[in-house]
Amino acid sequence: MITGLHAVVFSKKPEADRAFLRDVFKLSHVDVGGGWLIFGLPPAEIAVHPHRRNDLHEFYFLCADIAQLVRTMKRKRVRCGTVQTMPWGKLVHLRLPGGGKLGVYEPRHARPKPMPLPKTRKRAKRSSRRRTA
């Protein structure tokens, strides 16, 4: 039923933030027209947390080694906040070129297996001959 996740980052400088995802994070991408890039992501997970409000959503990138990530980002002149150690992992916020923040964390919790992609139905080949009634 569900085949993936499409997340949206709103930005005052979308071209700069697209370049960041393409050039710094090295995410695969397609140009769907006019420089509008859609990026591929590694396997994802989603959790539901209690909150007093609905319609409040967040997303974080995951990494295997947050210290290495911070070193790499600093070499690329990406501003990084202080790494915070939380019960569920280590968290850092990066500053995007457009001014927004992007959270990345090294999980210390159990991780689900990625969902397998659904099998796609093959379309039947259409005959070039038309049937006559």
Please determine, for residue 127, whether its predicted confidence score (pLDDT) is greater than 60: no
Q: Which residue has the tokens 């709103």?
A: 10
Domain chopping of the chain, boundaries: 14-43+57-107
Distance, CA of 51 to CA of 73 (rounded, Å): 32
Going by their DSSP bridges, the two strands 101-107 and 89-95 should be labelled as: antiparallel
For residue 121, what pLDDT band results from cuts at 50, 70 and 90?
Answer: low
> What average pLDDT does the segment 33-62 reach?
92
Please determine, for residue 133, whether its predicted confidence score (pLDDT) is greater than 70: no
At position 98, the amino acid (one-letter code) is G
15-38 residue pLDDT tens: 999 999 999 999 999 999 998 999
pLDDT at 118: 76
- 44 contacts 5 by C-beta, under 8 angstroms: yes
Please determine, for residue 125, whether its predicted confidence score (pLDDT) is greater than 80: no
Class of the domain covering 14-43+57-107: alpha beta
> What average pLDDT does the segment 61-85 reach?
96
pLDDT at 126: 53
Neighbour count for residue 109 (Cβ, 10 Å) = 11
For residue 60, what pLDDT band results from cuts at 50, 70 and 90?
Answer: very high
